[in-house]
Structure 1
């Protein structure tokens, strides 16, 4: 049984191709902040209203940002809302083929916390100690005593971008049925898949469990110690950047950097819940000494944002893996939804390889995709209507044949 899912990359030397861009839409890049402190506001609701259209509703990430593409040019009314803050409204004109940037400042309005909620002044190193002391499934989520198993659905899309021309030269989308049982068993079955283009770079499917290890050109690597290792405090510096209120909870953002910059490590941010010291999310990338170990890789980054279910469990909601070489960028975005907690799972699920492409996955018709992508944003994939057989990245073809990574 595979107990980890590395990122998987292969660099191919096919001739470059160029696809004409006929993008007639607009992109909105918005940032939500606390008007008093300037702190980023994660989990804020951003509503975009346009005359004659249904409102579009989006949630900011852990950095307080959203990027929305596929918007029609013209006048748009944007409102940002968040519990404990007054709404922020503005109107702007979206231009065809351009990115519009917007900063939304929300004025805090104190709200009454639950009586038992207390906010202690805990240092960043102490928060990390408490997080490490918790039972945890690597970087995916904290272990919970009353959560035995779960099943989930996920939708993922991946694109490869030519860094010189900024053109998308390949795309893939797929659906996943995932299963978990403690302490560290994860099975991910790809139930539908379609793709187009030529692959210079690829990210393996599904959720990755750790940003500190992976495989490049069939050679595995692992950065140790990493920011959540048992001895991490000896090797990393932690700084509390901000603490924001999410409903009646508080979440602290912790900056992470290696104490010795000349040694391989990770740097970025961790988010920790202050009530039970659960992992809320992270945004970590390899530092330069670590990248020197990876032939041909210029950038390696994983972002994960968890959502609180049943007011108790912080479970993955979105994960973005980004890899860059000199010529190409590969980015995979996975969105998890429809968690079924403490469900009976057959043991046979975890006896197969961790990631399996089901035989029927490549034969799904338009009816399947209409049902599974109705509420997913796939505009940037520019998927062709036909299914392209035998054109998967090399690493994915191994999965299709049932071989382990």
Structure 2
């Protein structure tokens, strides 16, 4: 559940390091598309090369986008790659203190796989019916018969931006150890916290289970029905936008909007795996009438992207929660980077509140943060290595470095 806090009074409650964009650096906002269909290309690899520097590798989100902050001004060579497409190369000049936008169009290679496939056999409403019929843990992931429990590590950062000046005025950084037990038990322990700046609002730490539910000013709200409710097809319109084919997998992007414009609801997109009807991700925001119920809130949005582990389980890899008031924006990004499936978890873990801040979390020193960063980097490398050793479909193995960053 997302919790909105209008004022930050206690370091102990929601204590991050600065993610501020300074005037001396640049921002790159890039979009990858299929040159024939114009469809967005998620999971594309974007490599940025600069003279005298190591290449930087990034992966596009479900919208086919990346946004990279803190780049040094000057000439940069950008290459986009994706299985089934010819690489796209370009060179641009990054300007100091400005955002550079770039669209990378990739040409399909006919002998391999195409991004856009014609899907006549499963309509958007039918895909939604099949997803709803599946056992599912809220909006986090589909339930799997041979997955009982899991533990995961996560790192989260949050920034607060003054909407008038676009200045980052506060930040939080925290480390998380999470635990799941079916059907619907999630425990998240905050193991490290550090923060800076002057707070005017914040988002509670950890993964949120549903974009349709939250707390504002200690008052809870819930949008019902929501797009994955049992009766959602009576209240929402669904439209298939595109289908991505990678290896032996197909993922459809479904547009979502309320059928009745005079009722509170959610707008945005859902991504569904057509092979087993698992939830791959979503990007949903409250509509205007829903926002009217939340005093002082102008925007409420949650984006979640799942990654397929062991060629079977779609589990959360990134979640971004964005809340805006008239004067400030709070954005929290959480990345899950290690899963231990079917772990032996003590029942006592789930007897406490869902989010627990451990006593030592607020006293972590620089040694802890340095070790945690190194451990996180090592876990990413190990996970990519394990996934590429036969656990992904053959076509995914060719994607190479950066797939799970």
Normalising by structure 2, we get a TM-score of 0.86
Distance 1:385 1:229, change over 3 A: closer
Give the Cα separation in 2 of the matches to 1:79 and 1:390. Answer: 27
Distance 1:134 1:292, change over 3 A: same
| 3-state SS, counterpart of residue 161 of structure 1 | strand
Structure 1 contact 196–388 (Cα < 8 Å) conserved: no
Moved more, 177-186 or 238-247: 238-247
Q: Deviations over 1:298-336 (max 9, x none)?
A: 100000000110111100010000001111111000011
What's the offset of the Cα at 1:382? 29
Q: Deviations over 1:1-47 (max 9, x none)?
A: 99999999999999999999743111110000011100000010111
Give the Cα separation in 2 of the matches to 1:203 and 1:334. Answer: 11
| 3-state SS, counterpart of residue 4 of structure 2 | coil
Give the Cα separation in 2 of the matches to 1:48 and 1:371. Answer: 27
Q: Deviations over 1:50-79 (max 9, x none)?
A: 111111111000000000011111111111
What's the offset of the Cα at 1:380? 21
The match for 1:395 is 395
The match for 1:315 is 315
What's the offset of the Cα at 1:373? 3.1
Structure 2 contact 226–232 (Cα < 8 Å) conserved: yes
What's the offset of the Cα at 1:372? 2.2
Distance 1:384 1:318, change over 3 A: closer
Give the Cα separation in 2 of the matches to 1:393 and 1:12. Answer: 44
Distance 1:15 1:194, change over 3 A: closer
What's the offset of the Cα at 1:369? 1.1
Distance 1:384 1:96, change over 3 A: farther
What's the offset of the Cα at 1:121? 2.5
Give the Cα separation in 1 of the matches to 2:186 and 2:303. Answer: 19
Distance 1:381 1:307, change over 3 A: closer
Distance 1:296 1:9, change over 3 A: farther
What's the offset of the Cα at 1:118? 12
Normalising by structure 1, we get a TM-score of 0.86
Give the Cα separation in 1 of the matches to 2:402 and 2:76. Answer: 48
The match for 1:85 is 85
What's the offset of the Cα at 1:370? 1.4
Give the Cα separation in 2 of the matches to 1:237 and 1:353. Answer: 36
| 3-state SS, counterpart of residue 207 of structure 1 | coil
Structure 1 contact 11–200 (Cα < 8 Å) conserved: no
Give the Cα separation in 2 of the matches to 1:295 and 1:210. Answer: 20
Q: Deviations over 1:171-191 (max 9, x none)?
A: 100000001011111000001
RMSD: 10.2
Gaps of 5+ in 2: none
Gaps of 5+ in 1: none
Give the Cα separation in 2 of the matches to 1:5 and 1:240. Answer: 36
Q: Deviations over 1:349-369 (max 9, x none)?
A: 111111001111111111111
Give the Cα separation in 2 of the matches to 1:10 and 1:396. Answer: 45
